[in-house]
Amino acid sequence: MTKMPQDPWGIAAVMAAATLWGTTGTAATFAPGVSPLAIGAVAMGFGGLLQALTAAGQIAKGRALIRAHWRCVVVGALAVAIYPLAFYAAMRYAGVTIGTVVSIGSAPLLSALIENVLDGTRLSRRWVFGASLGLAGMLLLCVAETGGETVTAGATGSRVVLGIGLGLLAGFTYAFYSWAAHRLMRRGVATRAAMGAMFGIGGLALMPVLWMTGAPLLDTWNNLAVGVYMAVVPMFIGYYCFGRGLSRVSASTATTITLFEPVVAAGLAVVVVGEMLPPLGWLGVALVVACLVAMTLPRRQRAGGAQQAVPDEDAAHGPQASEAEPSRASC
């Protein structure tokens, strides 16, 4: 199967998304009385509904294609709803650092596995090299931020194991909804329509969770401001950028580039929260940057060129887009 070219605008869009997502941990520290489940539900719930609302026109135009690939929409939306609950619960049980590293760090490998099983995509040596650098950097960040401890203070071994399991679930659902959105775009659904449909349904599914856990968001103006920020900036704007990027690069490449998210989070923790990052942590940051360089440097194209990336928005509805590459996946 022909691999997509590494479009520089797609890479830049994913990097922008990772940068915005990296602010969520620091933002959450300004609302300590709000539970992680409530933060996740308000962020992805309202962020998803905003995606659907602003993409309503695109969804209406592409409703025939969306109905034709409803399985991708439904399973992607289910992954969208599960992801924030698993992610924030992983941080609650295993600690912020270990939970984040397992969730974000496992996503590129799981995304590549999904593409290999469902699309028949082979892993390039360049991807393996870049992903290895990124995962090594993530591991060093984890060790540095926990001071070499394997468990977080106050967390028992069983809680950490549960947290790691939830982190793997978060990584899988993140990789899977990225694959589902990319598949919809490759099948001709416009970028905003694909993201709006998936995230809108996922956001609706999170409303009961927000109803049960979100009362503290209304306790103070500060808590409310944090909730609004999380929904609008990292989730709505961040996933808008991520969707634009997914229309131009593969899901496995996109999830690998988002390894930059913990680097942003660590930097903000140093600058804003006042945490200290030891030399081992800075080495981890350097490895993640090296991963991004390895993944994003332009490569020489062989004679005949590579398959072009999917066009954006309404241009994606042309006949060529509907004849996207064959796949083993049913949706």
Residue 99 inside a domain? The answer is: yes
Cβ neighbourhood burial of 148 (10 Å; 0-12, 13-18, 19+)? exposed
Residue 200 inside a domain? The answer is: yes
Residue 95 inside a domain? The answer is: yes
Q: DSSP 3-state assignment of 162?
A: helix
Maximum distance among all alpha carbons in the chain?
A: 62
pTM: 0.77
SS (H, E, C) 73-101: HHHHHHHHHHHHHHHHHHHHHHCHHHHHH
Residue 331 inside a domain? The answer is: no
Residue 326 inside a domain? The answer is: no
Residue 183 belongs to domain spanning:
8-298
Residues 184, 186, 187: CA angle, nearest 5 degrees: 65
Residue 112 inside a domain? The answer is: yes
pLDDT along the chain (331 residues), means of 10: 63 92 82 86 92 92 92 95 88 72 79 83 78 80 60 56 85 92 90 93 94 92 93 92 87 81 76 73 79 67 47 39 46 69
- Concatenating the DSSP letter of every residue in 266-290 gives HHHIIIII-----HHHHHHHHHHHH
pLDDT at 328: 53
Contacts of 23 (CB under 8 A, 6+ apart): 233, 234, 264, 265, 268
Number of domains into which the chain is organized? 1
Q: Which two tokens stand for residue 238?
A: 């961040």
Residue 158 inside a domain? The answer is: yes
Distances in Å between the alpha carbon of 251 and those of 77, 83, 112, 166, 186?
A: 16, 16, 8, 21, 11
Residue 328 inside a domain? The answer is: no
